[in-house]
Structure formats: C-alpha cells, structure tokens
Chains A and B, each alone.
Chain A
Amino acid sequence: MDFLLSGFIKAIELLISGDSYTWSAVAATLKVSSISMLLSLGAGLPCGFILGYFNFRGKRALRTVLDTLLALPTVFIGLLVYAFISSKGPMGSFNLLFTLTGIAVGQTILAFPIVAAITASIIENIDPGLKLTLISLGAGKRNTILTCLWEVRYGILAAAVTAYGRVLTEVGISMMVGGNIKWHTRTMTTAIALETGKGMFSNGIALGLILILIAFTVNLSLSFLRKK
C-alpha cells in the first residue's frame, strides 16, 4: 500500500521537475496515439458509415466480422504487425520495427474496428423518420447524409473517445513492435510495465497517474467541444 502514496507524490514531482525521461515517454505516447487515432478515424468513420447507412448483401456478415475484431488481443496484433515489418517479413524494407510509426500501424488495427463498429451502430440507430422528413422536405442525397451525420456527431465523438482510451492504454503492441527502447519507443504504458517489472512500484504508479492525467485533459477538451 505504501507505494501508492509515494507514487502519487512522485507523479507530482515528475511533472513539476520536468523530468526528461517521463516527458520523452509522454511525447512518444502522444505522438503515436495521435497518428493512430487520425488513421483509424480516417478509415473507420467512412467504413462505419457505409456499413450503417446503406443496405447491401453480406452486410450482416461484415458486421459480425467487425464485431469479432473488437476482441483482438493487443499482443496478438503486435505479433501480427511484427510478422509483416520484421526485417525478414514482407514489409521489412520499410524499417518500421522499433519505431513509433510501427506502433501506430498496430494501434490503428486496434482502433479501426472500434471506430467502425460504433459508428455503424449509431448510424443504424438514426430515427428512420429523420431520413423521410428530410427527403420530403426536398433535401438531396448529399444534404440528407450530411444532416444525418450532424445528428449523430456526439455518438461519433463517443466512438473516438472509446478508441482513444484503448489506444492510449495498450501495452502489447507497443512492447512487441516498439521494443520499449529508452528515449525512442518507450511509451507511458511500456514504461509502467518496465518499472513494475523492476519492482519500482511507486514509479509505475506515478507514470500511471500521469497517463490518466493525459486522458483527462483530452476528454476535458472534447467535452468543451460538445458544449459548443
């Protein structure tokens, strides 16, 4: 128990003193999660929209596959990505192993199904009356879609927040693909895993608290977005 309190104190110390080790992990985490969020939103939102808005053959099967992908374990994604970007893998020449970009690729695979599945559910659940009303008011196809999207903006925000939470906190991909290299690919979560492995529990707690603080800041700014 004692390490909880000392961890809390240490977290404040690390933040105030601008500890370069901590900040390098914070920077790595922010960089990698931003890239993977941009990529997964860029791919997941349109896919989710198509899946939720249009009716086509095989749609249900596709939804089932997507929902199953929500259960992908992060270590497994890590291994999968490693197989491709390892120097003996088909994409070895890109030199992505042990880089933040490599981690971002894995995290995109992690976040994409979350964004797509939640977006699809939200779009599916739009009040069917809305579409009818819009069409009867003389809205074109483009305007109908845009209005529908506007209606569900908070739902999409929720999809993004959920995916972000997952990306920010995963360890498996960062460890396997990034290699937990000090000053380079050591993220907050791999640093926590390392400190815990070294038995430095209070350091682990301190870093964990800082990670929660990052998540809090991000969500706080998003909630302001919601008010406007």
Chain B
Amino acid sequence: MSANGEPVIRVEDLCTWFPIRAGLMRRTVGWVRAVDGVSLEVRAGKTLALVGESGCGKTTVGRSILRLVEPRSGRVTFGGRDLLELPPEELRPLRKDLQMVFQDPMASLNPRMRVRELVSEGMRSFGIGTGEAERTDRVAALLSRVQLDPDWMWRYPHEFSGGQRQRLGIARALAVEPRMIVLDEAVSALDVSIQAQILNLLSDLQEELGLAYLFITHDLGVVRHLSDEVAVMYVGQIVERGETAALFEDPRHPYTRALLEAVPSVDPRRRSGAAPVLGDVPSPADPPPGCRFHTRCPEVFERCSREEPAAFPAGSGEARCFLREPGAGS
C-alpha cells in the first residue's frame, strides 16, 4: 500500500490515436489524435481531476490507462509495471487494483444479474473470499457501506434509481479492494441533491481506504469541490495542471481562464457575463498547428501559430503557453 501522497500511477507521454479509414480497402487516411502526449500522476488518497470540453480526449485517457482502448505509445506505470507492455494474462491481476466507474451505471451493470452477483463477480474472478457464504456477507457489508439496504442484494439493477445504481457501481468497484478508481463523469447524470450524496460518499471512502481517484468530468463546480489537483485538457493535450485552489484562484493558461470564466456563477450577487471565447473547439483529426488553442485565444501572438509550446512551470504546476516561458515577462 502506498502512503498518502505517493504516486499510485504515473502516465508518461501517452498517445492514443484512432485511424480514419476510407475507401473500399478501408485504408487509413488520417488519425484522430484523441490523446496526444499526456503525462500525469495520481497520488494515493488524493484526487486528480481531468477536465475539459467534449472531444478533448479526457475519457480516452481513462480508457487508455485501463487498456480498454490500445494506446499507440507512452508509459503507464502502476504497481511497478508498465501496463502498456504487459501481455493480457499479466494485465488481468493488476486490473483488480485499478477499477472504473462510468457515467451511466445501467450501461455497465448486466441487467440479468442480481445485485449479489454483480457485486461479487469481481471477488470471484480475483479469488477474494473463500466461499459463497463469505461473499454474501461481504456483499451485504459493501451495500451498507454505500448506504444501500443489504436486503436489496436479491434485486435486479432496473429496480434501482439513478443514484442507487451509481452506488451499486461504486460497491462493485470496491468489492475487489482497488487502490485506484477511474471515475468517468460518475456524477454528471445525477440530480444535484443525489449528486451531493454520491460526492460525500466518494470522499468518505477515499479517506477511509486511502483510494486514489482519477476524476474525469466537465463540471468545474464538482472539480473545485473535491479534487486536490487538476489537469485541464484541450484537443488531446494537457494545457495546464496544478493544485486545485491555486489553479482556480490564478489560472495560468488562457484556455483555463476562459473555461473558468464561462462557468455560470451560482452567486446571486454576481453574474459572470464575461466575454465568451469565440468559435468552436477544433477537431482532433486536424488540430491547428502550433499551440492548439491559438485559433480561439484572446492573447494570441505570431509565434503561437508557428511553434508548439512546451509545458512551462507555472503557478503550482505547469502551463503549455509561451506566456509562461521563463523570461516571457508576465
């Protein structure tokens, strides 16, 4: 078990490209660079939020780490091994330590299995618990831990509400005693009062079990509330990363600033009404040359369309922007 704050997973220079095929022979005519050189770390007992707008590649990062899609290159170090190098039979035991919870739990819960089977499925495949009776007890304990009635283990998933299904998804992930959970828009489909229940549950579990969370979301209110660190993605790349409070207080990349300004204010004394970013997000199949944000950036200058900025130290982390280049002035 890693001590709190120790990296549980280290992702380096991850690239996941999807081929664009055309013609009779389905030849590859181009690539969608969904993830294009992403590096990040998630620490034990901590939450890293991966945020960005639709199509920025945040979900593909999560899926690549679990090898639900095959990355093209990069390294994912977890439990001392590079997950991307492992043959399937060696990858399987590591999957126990690395679980995922999805946005729509109904799509990830087999509708024909009773809750007891759903929750204990992973235990059986990883040899947790010695007999069925012991597993039943463990399922009951897990259900009460996620605040569901243990007697409900004989029900089917369709008998549950959205929030209850998300609790089931969490119970199922916890059943195999993971070290890290990838949560992909795990609370996005829920009503706000139910969302609050699930967010509180997730932070309790983290504190209790020392879990590392990679929290993938587009909801910046949720990010600010629960994450320790934030990585902001734009067209396949992380453009800024830093500690949550510092990043929200003083964003160092123009995209992060635009994103934060665009969030509707929930403070009735203040409406944001800030100048919105113009235009649309470019396609990852045809990213703009140079800095990928230069087509929408209010602070763009000549160099931005020519050269691609590296990640420069900025604030409590890094920003991929020439304005943050050492010696750039501001």
- Please indicate whether A and B come from the same complex rather than being unrelated chains: no
